[in-house]
């Protein structure tokens, strides 16, 4: 039988506040699966017109799929969240782009007609499960010289980007990082970040139970001078520091996607429309450049240029990676379209969870910017990849 692709909409998105990984972090004694369960339950609470049995799939990403991030976490989180046992789920991994891939994969299923409504998201508890825990890289990667040894250390790949783009100096990276901190502080002060944060129970052996209500990583008031004093752990006299890179973080995200006609039937109000997506591979030793070819492919396929993109949410794994993207597309370092409310350098980057944070932020910006038609969410991905998703503003003046 003939099939017609359906429009897919992003209805709602939430996340836990992000915490610092480690024994003193917000979620040091909180399970990873409980974080994503909290996000799923909040989605259902905020959208009471959605019967839980109408959820057709739960796709949850985790980079380190072991322990409390294992056990096919999409399915286990669905059961723990109280969804009917008839609702299936699965786990997905594309490292940093895990949640992004959960959205694009599940969204493609909606467009194809296999699903009507899905929940997609990601979780990473880097305090319990450090990046690379338990992995056993095939020795042929190095023995056969398939990749440079630096490809397996993300901070080293960022230093490699500085080598490839000598115009991106440490001072320029530090200036970008300081702006990210300032923009997050301004967004918090204006109440723009808080609407999608889910208050999350935390436990401490010393202090008992508490409630996480805001992100732990931001450092408001950070200056370029402060950042200039930091050490460069990945290379002597290098450029990458803890201040111009995202930290090690814990957190979870989840979003609700639906076919546009089904959302209308169920009384769900969409925030934005999924237009297209693209993933691309690059040399693993310069994985930070991945968003460039992914975005180029996406723009070409949709007969668009960067001038057509009114908002850009790019994950700030490293300042140099963002600046390389901007330099390629001839975008100024301080272009108002780019991460207007700050990014991961300040907010944190719990790996597989981050893609949906970008989408949450873009969808809120669309609500304010009714003059903007298109926006993108884009990110670099470990092992040499990039991903970009193109979104259309449903609040735009004049509609489609």
Active-site residue, selected from the candidate residues 96, 129, 162, 255: 96
- For residue 261, the Cα-to-chain-centroid distance in whole angstroms is 27
340: which 2 tokens?
A: 């207007």
Residue partners of 271: CB distance under 8 A and separation at least 6: 9, 10, 11, 12, 13, 363, 364, 366, 367, 394, 395
Rounded (5°) CA angle 26-41-396: 100
96 is catalytic: yes
For residues 360 and 121, is the Cβ–Cβ distance under 8 A?
no
> In this predicted model, what pLDDT tens digit does every residue of 341-362 receive, in sequence order?
999 999 999 999 999 999 999 9
Instruction: Give the three-class secondary structure for 358.
Output: helix
Among this protein's residues, is 349 annotated catalytic? yes
CB atoms within 10 A of CB 153: 14
Each domain of the chain, given as residue ranges in start order, spans 140-192+275-390
**Main-chain dihedrals φ then ψ at residue 2, nearest 5 degrees:** -65, 145
Residue 316 burial (CB < 10 Å; 0-12/13-18/19+)? buried
Q: Which among 87, 109, 150, 178 has a CA at the least distance from the CA of 288? A: 150
CATH number for the segment(s) 140-192+275-390: 3.40.47.10
* Catalytic member of 125, 129, 162, 349: 349
Please pick, among 125, 162, 255, 380, the residue that the annotation labels catalytic.
380
**pLDDT tens, the chain, 400 aa long:** 666 789 999 999 999 999 999 999 999 999 999 999 999 999 999 999 999 999 999 999 999 999 999 999 999 999 999 999 999 999 999 999 999 999 999 999 999 999 999 999 999 999 999 988 888 999 999 999 999 999 989 999 999 999 999 999 999 999 999 999 999 999 999 999 999 999 999 988 787 899 999 999 999 999 999 999 999 999 999 999 999 999 999 999 999 999 999 999 999 999 999 999 999 999 999 999 999 999 999 999 999 999 999 999 999 999 999 999 999 999 999 999 999 999 999 999 999 999 999 999 999 999 999 999 999 999 999 999 999 999 999 999 766 5
């Amino acid at each position: 039988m003939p099939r017609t692709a359906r429009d897919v909409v992003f209805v709602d998105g939430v996340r836990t506040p992000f915490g610092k990984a480690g024994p003193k972090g917000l979620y040091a004694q909180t399970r990873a699966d409980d974080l994503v369960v909290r996000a799923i339950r909040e989605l259902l609470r905020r959208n009471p017109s959605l019967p839980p049995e109408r959820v057709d799939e739960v796709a949850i990403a985790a980079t380190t799929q072991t322990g409390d991030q294992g056990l096919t976490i999409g399915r286990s989180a669905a059961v723990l969240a109280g969804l009917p046992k008839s609702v299936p789920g699965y786990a997905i991994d594309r490292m940093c782009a895990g949640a992004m891939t959960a959205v694009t994969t599940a969204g493609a299923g909606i467009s194809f007609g296999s699903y009507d409504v899905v929940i997609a998201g990601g979780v990473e508890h880097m305090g319990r499960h450090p990046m690379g825990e338990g992995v056993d890289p095939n020795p042929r990667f190095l023995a056969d010289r398939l990749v440079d040894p630096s490809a397996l250390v993300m901070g080293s790949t960022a230093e490699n980007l500085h080598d490839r783009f000598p115009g991106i100096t440490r001072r320029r990276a530090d200036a970008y990082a300081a702006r990210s901190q300032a923009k997050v502080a301004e967004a918090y002060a204006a109440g723009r970040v808080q609407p999608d944060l889910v208050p999350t129970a935390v436990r401490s052996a010393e202090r008992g139970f508490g409630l996480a209500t805001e992100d732990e990583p931001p450092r408001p008031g950070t200056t370029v001078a402060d950042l200039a004093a930091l050490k460069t752990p990945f290379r002597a006299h290098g450029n990458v520091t803890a201040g111009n890179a995202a930290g090690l973080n814990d957190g979870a995200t989840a979003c609700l996607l639906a076919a546009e006609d089904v959302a209308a039937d169920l009384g769900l109000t969409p925030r934005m429309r999924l237009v297209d997506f693209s993933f691309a591979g690059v040399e693993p030793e310069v994985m930070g450049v991945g968003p460039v070819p992914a975005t180029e492919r996406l723009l070409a396929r949709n007969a668009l240029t960067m001038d057509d993109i009114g908002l850009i949410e790019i994950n700030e794994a490293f300042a140099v990676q963002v600046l390389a993207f901007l330099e390629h597309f001839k975008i100024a370092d301080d272009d108002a379209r780019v991460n207007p409310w700050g990014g991961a350098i300040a907010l944190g980057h719990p790996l597989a969870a981050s893609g949906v944070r970008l989408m949450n932020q873009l969808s809120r910006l669309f609500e304010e910017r009714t003059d903007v038609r298109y926006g993108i969410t884009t990110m670099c991905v470990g092992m040499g990849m990039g991903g970009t998703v193109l979104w259309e503003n449903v609040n735009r003046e004049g509609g489609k």
